[in-house]
Amino acid sequence: MRYLSVCSGIEAATVAWHPLGWEALAFSEIEPFPRKVLTYHYPDVRLEGDFTALREQEWIKDADILVGGTPCQAFSIAGLRNSLDDARGNLTLEFVRLANAIDNLRRSRDGTIIVWENVLGVLSVKDNAFGCFFGAIVGNDEPLVPTGGKWTNAGMVVGPKRRAAWRVLDAQYFGVAQRRRRVFVVASSRDDFDPAEVLFERESLRGHITQGAKINQPEREVVGSITTRTGRANDNFSAEVGHCIVDKSGKPRWIMPIECERLQGFPDNYTNIPNASDTSRYKALGNSMAVPVMAWLGKRIQKHMQKDT
């Protein structure tokens, strides 16, 4: 499996998927510090800038997987939730255009598998940004509108172009000590690929997969988490210097970059490259996906792809 990672950040996907034997086709990242991290750890992997410039490139046809977390600031409270009025929010639709370009270039080959991640706020912005994105992914001419006017935490839609499923996953249930709820989307046009088999555990599926149907699922069972010294999982740590935690003695102290790496599931000192500032490390880690969640998704994709072999 070869994957094209866009809005790569510091590459949680690669840290998670390298043990599976998957190969990075290319990264795409514009921020200076994450680019330095990628160059330091993966000097032999192609590093692109703006991913919107990739649609005309012939080599993207070799991407078996397209993975990315388009900028979340447009959908977060901290970013004032300007949604699709924000150029960063519109990158979600550029992500769909890139996926379509890859599938068009692959022609007789199977379509690419799409993995997309974003903040929980994308489900609740007033302009129905998630419905616009999800409708475009499955190939609808119009945005999808959730039943009852509110997006649920999980579901699936079959459209004219692709099948796609979404689910809210919380990193604390995958072995890290922070509550980090994010929306994950898995989609593909492949006949032999069912996103529901990846995102949902079979025993908890409800209903039947039919054209246009949605499958809702309750929150997943806690499978264990690493706790802090206070015995509780942390809330999402800040991307800014100065975030505090309380240790077992009851004195507040600053959280350290290496602790942020552990909270996200990265190896110790992964971001501690030459001349790295703590500020840059905090920001890059705060914007990253959680490695254990990506590892779980990769294993689920691999298992599903190997089921008939």
φ and ψ at 104, to 5 degrees? -65, -40
Q: From CA 158, how far away is CA 236, in angstroms rounded?
A: 33
Q: Which parts of the chain are beta strand (E)?
A: 2-6, 23-28, 46-48, 65-68, 113-119, 154-158, 163-170, 181-188, 244-246, 252-254
Residue type, 232: R
Q: How far from 194 is each of 153, 176, 236, CA to CA, in Å?
A: 19, 28, 31
| Strands lying side by side in the sheet with 154-158 | 46-48, 23-28, 2-6, 65-68, 113-119, 181-188, 163-170, 154-158
Is 7 one of the catalytic residues?
Answer: no
Using an 8 Å Cβ cutoff, are 14 and 1 in contact?
A: no
Candidate list 7, 72, 132, 260, residue with the active-site label: 72
Q: From CA 5, how far away is CA 51, in angstroms rounded?
A: 9
Using an 8 Å Cβ cutoff, are 245 and 228 in contact?
A: yes
DSSP state string for 283-296: HHHHTSPPHHHHHH
Positive or negative CA dihedral for 4, 114, 52, 264? negative
Quickly count: other Cβ atoms within 10 Å of residue 192's Cβ.
10
Give the catalytic positions in this structure.
72
